[in-house]
Amino acid sequence: MKAAAQPSDGKGPGTRERILETAIRFFTRSGFDGTSVDEIVTHARVNKRMVYHYFGSKSGLYSAALARVYERIAHVEAEVFSDEPSAGVAVERIVTAYFRFLQGDPEFVSLLLWENLQGGRHLQSLPASVTKAPILESLGRVIEKGIASGEIRADIDKRHMLINLMGVCLIYFSNRFTLSRTVGLDLGDPAVMEEGIRHAVGLVRHGFLR
Alpha helices in 5-86 (DSSP H): 13-30, 37-44, 49-55, 58-80
pLDDT of residue 44: 95
Number of domains in the chain: 2
Could you tell me which residue, 81 or 195, shows the higher pLDDT?
A: 195
User: 102, 127 in Cβ contact below 8 A?
Assistant: no
Let me know the angle formed at the C-alpha of 98 by 93 and 100, rounded to the nearest 5 degrees.
95
Beta bridge partners, 8, equal 46
Q: What is the mean pLDDT of residues 204-210?
A: 87
Backbone torsions φ then ψ of 46, nearest 5 degrees: -130, 160
Q: Is 23 in the same domain as 73? A: no
Of the pLDDT bands very low, low, confident and very high (cuts 50, 70, 90), residue 11 is low
pLDDT of residue 123: 81
Q: Is 88 in the same domain as 50? A: no
In this predicted structure, the answer to whether residue 4 has a pLDDT above a threshold of 50 is no
- CATH number where 39 lies: 1.10.10.60
**What is the Cα–Cα distance from 37 to 138, expressed in whole angstroms?**
39
Q: How far apart are the first and last CA of the chain?
A: 72
Q: Is 104 in the same domain as 196? A: yes
In this predicted structure, the answer to whether residue 130 has a pLDDT above a threshold of 80 is no
Residue 80 lies in a domain: yes
Residue 62 lies in a domain: no
pLDDT of residue 10: 53
| Residue 159 belongs to domain spanning | 67-208
**What is the Cα–Cα distance from 7 to 23, expressed in whole angstroms?**
16
Q: Is 132 in the same domain as 81? A: yes
